[in-house]
Structure 1
Amino acid sequence: MRFNGKRILITGAGKGIGRAAVKLLSRQGADIVALSRSAEDLETLTAEFGCRPLKVDLADAEQTRAAARETLPVDLLVNCAGVVEMQPVLDTSVEAFDLHMAVNCRAPLILSQEYARDRIAKGLPGAIVNVSSIASFIGFANHAAYCASKGALDGLTRVMANELGHKGIRVNGVHPVVTMTPMAVKAWSDPAKSGPMLSRIPMQRFVEPDEVAAVIAFLLSDDASMVNGIDMPVDGGFLIN
Structure 2
Amino acid sequence: MADERARESVSRKIEKKPLALHARIQRDVEDRIVSGEWPPGTRIPFEHELTAEYGCSRMTVNKALSELVKKGLIERRRKSGSYVRQPEVLSAVLEIHQLEREVRALGLAYAFRILQSCRRLASDEDRQRLRLDGPAHVRHVKTLHIAGSRPFCLEDRLINLEEVPQAETADFSDAPPGSWLLEQVPWSAAEHRINACAAARAEAELLDLKEGTPCLVIARRTWNAAGSVTHVTLTYPGDMHTLVAQFGPSARLS
Tell me if both proteins adopt one fold, taking TM over 0.5 as the criterion. no
Instruction: Specify which structure has the bigger relative contact order, considering alpha-carbon pairs within 8 angstroms and separated by 6 or more residues.
Output: 1
Structure showing the higher helix proportion among its residues? 1
Larger Rg: 2
TM-score by length of 2: 0.23
TM-score by length of 1: 0.24
Structure showing the higher strand proportion among its residues? 2
